[in-house]
Amino acid sequence: MLQALPRGFPAAIAIVQHRDRSSGEALSRTLQQESRLPILDVEDKELIRPGCVYLAPAAYHLLVEPGQFSLSVDPPVAFAKPSIDVLFESAAEVYQSSMIGVVLTGANRDGAEGLAKIKARGGFTIVQDPRTAECASMPEAAISKSIVDRVLPIDQISPLLVTLCPPC
């Protein structure tokens, strides 16, 4: 999905991937090979810059504050840490109607509550078509809440993001 986003994409992207603490920087190295955008492992109080992809570190919740990220060592939410819901809920508070949330493949319900918060704040919600997901549980959970603007195969999500986020 990242390979379809152009260099200079005008928005920041934050990714929460449920992964083991021992994974270290392997995910960021792998994603960087596929992306024209810089892939950054988030540090506490790191400034949010457009055109960058930020990865939540394993074992920390990633939150959005005005202009920056923060990391939390709070307990897991719905068995997940980092939690997509924690990221989405905090980002929805900051970005309101300009927030776009995307839920992809996954094995639990993480992300559904956060997407509901994004939708409640006037943001835009996208979910990977469960038929194209390696594990359909997370997309299905989001769809079941009836808060999804678009359900798309993964290869159609990046082109929509480019349309929704025109260059400044």
Q: What is the mean pLDDT of residues 62-73?
A: 98
Predicted structure pTM score: 0.94
3-state SS of 16-82 is CCCCCHHHCCHHHHHHHHHCCCCEEECCCCCECCCCCEEECCCCCEEEEECCEEEEECCCCECCECC
pLDDT band for 24, please (50, 70, 90 cuts).
Answer: low
Which residues sit opposite 134 in a β-bridge? Answer: none
- Which CATH number fits the domain 2-162, given the four candidates 3.40.50.1000, 3.30.2130.10, 3.40.50.180, 3.40.50.300? 3.40.50.180
Helix (H, G, I), strand (E, B) or coil at 15: strand
Q: At what angle do helices 112-120 and 84-95 cross, to 10 degrees?
A: 10
List the structure tokens of 68.
């920056």
Cα angle: 28, vertex 29, 35; to 5 degrees = 80
Tell whether the model's pLDDT for residue 101 goes beyond 80: yes
- The domain segmentation of the chain, as residue ranges, is 2-162
